[in-house]
Protein backbone atom coordinates (compact mmCIF):
# COMPACT_ATOMS: atom_id res chain seq x y z
CA UNK A 1 0.00 0.00 0.00
CA UNK A 2 1.04 3.58 -0.50
CA UNK A 3 1.60 5.82 2.50
CA UNK A 4 -1.67 7.61 1.72
CA UNK A 5 -3.58 4.31 1.65
CA UNK A 6 -1.96 3.25 4.93
CA UNK A 7 -2.92 6.57 6.52
CA UNK A 8 -6.51 6.13 5.38
CA UNK A 9 -6.66 2.65 6.90
CA UNK A 10 -5.24 3.99 10.18
CA UNK A 11 -7.94 6.67 10.12
CA UNK A 12 -10.65 4.06 9.61
CA UNK A 13 -9.36 1.97 12.52
CA UNK A 14 -9.06 4.99 14.80
CA UNK A 15 -12.56 6.11 13.87
CA UNK A 16 -13.86 2.66 14.79
CA UNK A 17 -12.11 2.93 18.13
CA UNK A 18 -14.49 5.76 19.03
CA UNK A 19 -17.28 3.17 19.26
CA UNK A 20 -15.50 0.40 21.17
CA UNK A 21 -13.72 -0.03 24.48
CA UNK A 22 -9.93 0.02 24.31
CA UNK A 23 -9.72 -3.65 25.28
CA UNK A 24 -11.88 -4.56 22.26
CA UNK A 25 -9.48 -2.97 19.75
CA UNK A 26 -7.26 -6.01 19.13
CA UNK A 27 -10.34 -8.03 18.21
CA UNK A 28 -11.74 -5.20 16.09
CA UNK A 29 -8.42 -4.92 14.29
CA UNK A 30 -8.39 -8.67 13.66
CA UNK A 31 -11.94 -8.62 12.27
CA UNK A 32 -11.26 -5.62 10.06
CA UNK A 33 -8.02 -7.19 8.85
CA UNK A 34 -9.94 -10.28 7.70
CA UNK A 35 -12.01 -8.10 5.37
CA UNK A 36 -8.96 -6.53 3.74
CA UNK A 37 -7.60 -8.97 1.16
CA UNK A 38 -4.99 -6.55 -0.20
CA UNK A 39 -3.24 -6.00 3.13
CA UNK A 40 0.19 -7.54 3.41
CA UNK A 41 1.56 -8.61 6.77
CA UNK A 42 3.80 -5.51 6.73
CA UNK A 43 0.79 -3.26 6.04
CA UNK A 44 -1.16 -4.90 8.84
CA UNK A 45 1.73 -4.51 11.28
CA UNK A 46 2.18 -0.84 10.32
CA UNK A 47 -1.52 -0.02 10.70
CA UNK A 48 -1.86 -1.90 13.97
CA UNK A 49 1.31 -0.38 15.39
CA UNK A 50 0.43 3.17 14.43
CA UNK A 51 -3.10 2.83 15.82
CA UNK A 52 -1.70 1.49 19.08
CA UNK A 53 0.83 4.31 19.33
CA UNK A 54 -1.83 6.94 18.72
CA UNK A 55 -4.25 5.39 21.22
CA UNK A 56 -1.49 5.29 23.85
CA UNK A 57 -0.84 9.02 23.35
CA UNK A 58 -4.46 10.20 23.21
CA UNK A 59 -4.31 12.11 26.51
CA UNK A 60 -1.35 14.20 25.29
CA UNK A 61 -2.79 14.60 21.79
CA UNK A 62 -6.22 15.65 23.09
CA UNK A 63 -4.65 18.09 25.55
CA UNK A 64 -2.77 19.76 22.69
CA UNK A 65 -5.95 19.96 20.61
CA UNK A 66 -7.97 21.39 23.49
CA UNK A 67 -5.38 24.13 24.01
CA UNK A 68 -5.85 25.56 20.51
CA UNK A 69 -9.41 24.67 19.47
CA UNK A 70 -11.25 27.79 20.60
CA UNK A 71 -14.81 26.97 21.59
CA UNK A 72 -14.41 23.34 20.56
CA UNK A 73 -13.22 20.80 23.08
CA UNK A 74 -12.54 17.29 21.81
CA UNK A 75 -15.70 15.96 23.47
CA UNK A 76 -17.81 18.26 21.26
CA UNK A 77 -16.05 17.67 17.94
CA UNK A 78 -17.48 15.53 15.17
CA UNK A 79 -15.87 12.09 15.40
CA UNK A 80 -14.52 12.19 11.84
CA UNK A 81 -12.93 15.59 12.37
CA UNK A 82 -11.52 14.64 15.76
CA UNK A 83 -10.05 11.40 14.45
CA UNK A 84 -8.35 13.17 11.54
CA UNK A 85 -6.98 15.89 13.81
CA UNK A 86 -5.64 13.26 16.23
CA UNK A 87 -3.96 11.38 13.41
CA UNK A 88 -2.34 14.53 12.03
CA UNK A 89 -1.21 15.74 15.46
CA UNK A 90 0.42 12.36 16.05
CA UNK A 91 2.21 12.58 12.71
CA UNK A 92 3.27 16.17 13.34
CA UNK A 93 4.63 15.52 16.83
CA UNK A 94 5.83 11.94 16.84
CA UNK A 95 6.81 10.98 13.28
CA UNK A 96 9.94 12.85 12.25
CA UNK A 97 9.85 11.56 8.67
CA UNK A 98 6.49 13.22 7.92
CA UNK A 99 6.65 16.97 7.25
CA UNK A 100 4.07 19.05 9.11
CA UNK A 101 2.61 20.35 5.84
CA UNK A 102 2.10 16.83 4.54
CA UNK A 103 0.35 15.73 7.74
CA UNK A 104 -2.00 18.72 7.53
CA UNK A 105 -2.67 18.33 3.81
CA UNK A 106 -3.43 14.61 4.13
CA UNK A 107 -5.83 15.25 7.02
CA UNK A 108 -7.62 17.95 5.02
CA UNK A 109 -7.93 15.66 1.99
CA UNK A 110 -9.39 12.88 4.13
CA UNK A 111 -11.77 15.40 5.70
CA UNK A 112 -13.05 16.30 2.23
CA UNK A 113 -13.68 12.63 1.56
CA UNK A 114 -15.15 11.50 4.88
CA UNK A 115 -16.38 14.62 6.65
CA UNK A 116 -19.02 17.26 6.17
CA UNK A 117 -18.77 20.29 3.91
CA UNK A 118 -17.18 22.22 6.78
CA UNK A 119 -14.80 19.49 7.96
CA UNK A 120 -11.83 20.33 5.78
CA UNK A 121 -11.71 23.97 6.86
CA UNK A 122 -12.24 23.06 10.52
CA UNK A 123 -9.49 20.41 10.45
CA UNK A 124 -7.15 22.78 8.63
CA UNK A 125 -7.81 25.59 11.11
CA UNK A 126 -7.14 23.50 14.20
CA UNK A 127 -4.02 21.91 12.71
CA UNK A 128 -2.66 25.27 11.53
CA UNK A 129 -2.77 26.48 15.14
CA UNK A 130 -0.76 23.42 16.18
CA UNK A 131 1.85 23.73 13.43
The domain spanning residue 51 has which CATH number? 1.10.940.10
* Overall domain count for the chain: 1
Lowest mean pLDDT among 35-39, 43-47, 80-84: 35-39
Say how far residue 8 (Cα) sits from the centre of its chain.
Answer: 8
Cα–Cα distance measured from residue 63 to residue 77, given in angstroms and rounded to the nearest whole number? 14
Quick one: angle between helices 79-94 and 100-114, nearest 10? 160
Give the largest Cα separation in the chain, rounded: 42
Q: How confident is the model at residue 44 (pLDDT cuts 50, 70, 90)?
A: confident
Complete DSSP assignment for 28-63? HHHHHHHH-TT--HHHHHHHHHHHHHHHHTHHHHHH
108-129: average pLDDT: 97
> Domain range holding 28?
3-130
Amino acid sequence: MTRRELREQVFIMLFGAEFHDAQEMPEQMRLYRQLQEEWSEADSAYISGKCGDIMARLPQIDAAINEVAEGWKTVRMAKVDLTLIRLAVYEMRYEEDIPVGVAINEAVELAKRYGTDDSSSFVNGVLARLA
